[in-house]
Chains A and B, each alone.
Chain A
Amino acid sequence: MAWTWFHKLGSPPYVFRLAETLTPWFWWISAVLIGYGLIGGLVISPADYQQGEGYRILYVHAPTAWMSLQVYVVMAVASAVGLIWRIKVAHAAAASCGSMGATFTACALATGSLWGGPMWGTYWEWDPRIIFELVLLFQFLGYVGLRAAIDDKQRADRICAVLAIVGVVNIPIIHYSVEWWNSLHQTASVMKLGSKPTMPMSMLMPLMSMFLGYVALFGALLLTRLRAELLSRERSASWIREAVHA
């Protein structure tokens, strides 16, 4: 049947070995893509006519900001799969996403702040996208905190799954409410990335490469963490001994 792959993904030993095989691939792909993106972005592409050299932080900032949202969606989907089909591996994947997502979000905020310093003249602006990222960070931290507060692993998995699903419903609502809040709020005009007319290919290509490189990086980190998570969760299972001694 075509669905056997799906059933196999529910088995911890199979996923553990699959992750072991795939992890180096993800590391290599991300290294190549991020390497090209960094050389293309920092060395080859020209300086921006408005922002000079400072805009180059974009090559790190935009992918991290994008990933922060992607990680939440991945976490929520994994949580839903775990909750509906009671798949332990999916819960383990969601658990691995929590602190990683918080890190991506914190990096997006930090790089955005460093970019805003010279460009907007302030390291912190109550801009809707910054507030959105901040609320997202709080959601990630709440998820990690709730998981840490419940001793029973299985109950923690399922409670946190409900939280992740509620949170993913909340994300678009927060996004639009801060957008509308800003349109109602007469703030000082700030320079927006979106107002740039077009991006030349020499900038766009490295940026795309960075985006894909970060996806691969996330994949590599997720698989590594997933293996650690499976090792700790299944430590009493017999397949662990075979897998570790093999």
Chain B
Amino acid sequence: MFFPISHSHINPLYLVVVGFVIGILGGFFGVGGSFIAGPALRLMGVDWNYAVGTDLAHIVGKSIVAARKHRTLGNVDLKLGMIMAVGTIGGAEGGAQVIQALKRAGNVNTVVSWVAIVVYVGISVFMLWESHTTLKLHKGRTVSDVKAAESKADHSAFGPVTKKIQRMEIWPMISLPTSGIQISLWIILAVAVVGGFFSGFLGGGAGYIRMPSMVYVLGIPTHLAVGTDLFEVVISASYGTFTHAIKGNVDILIALVMHTGAVIGAQIGVVATQYFAGPKIRLAFVPLPLIGAAIVIYTLLTGHKL
């Protein structure tokens, strides 16, 4: 099938399948999935600029569907999402500025690649340790996965550190009844700015950083972190889509085909979260950043940009 906007020939079934896989990951983990969608579009010969912009456009739709579904299940903290969106947009702008500075210095590819590898592997190793330790500590308890998931109660081996962060009384303190915590506004903004920075610096929605940060730094239960992150992705990806579309980087027809698969996958992913407890969702999350790291290592070694 010919897509005139990006001048590319792609089998629509391929796009639907890619969208479906990303949709499941998005609904279950609260990530945008740009680390898969971008390379998947590149493999079909779509120019890099169209791959980035189009990917963001399909993320908007998929995240709306997944966030709505999560909201019906009580997994979205709107107040937290709104505050974080402000910090994310600011951070994304900062990340883009650093990219521009590195471009001027002439070493943007090397620096971004190494930072990406360190960040992706770091997140995976930390989450593997934490979720594995938490599961080991709670082994033998009689509560089933489904019951644990339903109650949204969460345990984390990193919990004592999170509690200390929550106790830091830096004015103004914000109460988040949906998430069941009270925390300084500045800590929420710091998490959002860091997530936004990496979104602007490494590309995509940076859900692989924001979702774990919400769990470990803010102490948000995993199910709520997934839903709230998706809500925030809607805002940040809409902003990204708009700016990319103005620059001529969005093929909306490709995005709509990908979206047909993504929205179905997203609904399945969201419902699946109801059958897993928080630590198991976090453990299953571990391979995702590693896939991102593997793609970056591949491009570094071969010089091919997927």
A and B are partners in one complex rather than unrelated chains: no
